[in-house]
Amino acid sequence: MDLSTSLNVLYDPSRVTQLQAMERCVAAGFRHLDFNFTDWTHQGSPFIGEGWREWLHEIRRRADELGVSFSQSHGPIFAKFVGDERCCWLTEMSHRSIEGAGIIGAPWVVFEPESYPGAWDAAHLAGLKQRNLDWFGALLPTADRAGVGLALENINEGYAESRGMRRLYCAGTAELIDLVDGFRSSRVGICWDTGHAHIQRLDQGAAIRALGDRLKAVHIQDNDGRSDQHLLPYTGTIQWPVVLEALRAIHYGGDFTFEVASAIRPLPDPLRDGAVRRTYELGRYMLEMV
């Protein structure tokens, strides 16, 4: 298992380019990275312009020069079933993220399953499953061409009410496993977000063991169990020995990827490099227990 961080820890596009963020993470010790495409769907981003492939090829060339690889990436986060103009555009950007992952060499693109309001009875859950199978299934030809997979992420329900729902699909382990198994494809696996699971009060040891070899990627982050805070491990209330023991038990073979932007990005820029280095050292400590 290799140690990785999302590049979004240094996301500050007015002052820090993606190349600079990559170079700074490498200087801190990281040799494996997570590329967060959802950060780059803003107006004026090189990812949404005509030269997006050239931009990603430049990043790949620099990564090769630095001896660093991308072990996973994150696709756009949005309401996928709305059907309005922005939804259609972000669906296009989802396909672009998958092709982009192929360019930079990231084997997995993380996406969040989607929900819509309903009774949350058997019929509603069956409809949600089919709608997700259809939506993500439409991405699979692009994934096949790019040679990458889709890792569907466990959700937290902290923002369900703001979306007019009393809960969200795939916040629980069983629903996520059932959805992923429904694809019957080696191109579809699971990304486990430790912070989301903590908000849901899940038994993370049992959950990770249930995922087994479906687990292809992780988002390692901490919180106080009340909101999605993206803190460094041991600064929230997650019981990390339970998580680490479960990863060891299933012989998890993906990367140990930090998603801890809230611990680093708010800092003055001159202090961020030291914080990234501290994150790397913390990760090395944790991997000694896996």
Could you report the per-residue pLDDT of 188-225, keeping only the tens digit for each?
999 999 999 999 999 999 999 999 999 999 999 999 99
CB neighbour burial string for 138-155, b if at least 16 within 10 angstroms, e if fewer: ebbebbeebebbbbbbbb
Residue type, 282: L
Q: What is the pTM of this model?
A: 0.97
Average pLDDT (103-107) is: 99
The rounded Cα 109 to chain-centroid distance in angstroms is 7
Rounded distance between C-alpha atoms, residue 203 and residue 197, angstroms: 8
* pLDDT number for residue 59: 98
Average pLDDT (166-194) is: 98
Instruction: Output phi, psi for 279, to 5 deg.
Output: -65, -45
Superfamily of domain 3-287: Divalent-metal-dependent TIM barrel enzymes (3.20.20.150)
At 210 the three-state DSSP class reads: helix
Count Cα atoms within 13 angstroms, Cβ side, for 123: 2
Residue type, 274: G
- Going by pLDDT thresholds of 50, 70 and 90, the confidence category of residue 110 is very high
- Going by pLDDT thresholds of 50, 70 and 90, the confidence category of residue 264 is very high
Express each pLDDT in 135-150 by its tens digit.
999 999 999 999 999 9
* pLDDT number for residue 56: 99
- Per cent of the chain over pLDDT 90 is 99
Rounded distance between C-alpha atoms, residue 77 and residue 120, angstroms: 23
* pLDDT number for residue 234: 99
Rounded to the nearest integer, the mean pLDDT of the chain is 98
* Residues 267-272: contacts with CB under 8 Å, at least 24 apart: 269/12, 269/15, 269/16, 272/9, 272/10, 272/24
* pLDDT number for residue 268: 97
* pLDDT number for residue 10: 98
* pLDDT number for residue 71: 96
Express each pLDDT in 224-262 by its tens digit.
999 999 999 999 999 999 999 999 999 999 999 999 999
* pLDDT number for residue 133: 99
From the number of C-beta atoms within 10 Å of its C-beta (0-12, 13-18, 19+), residue 5 rates as buried
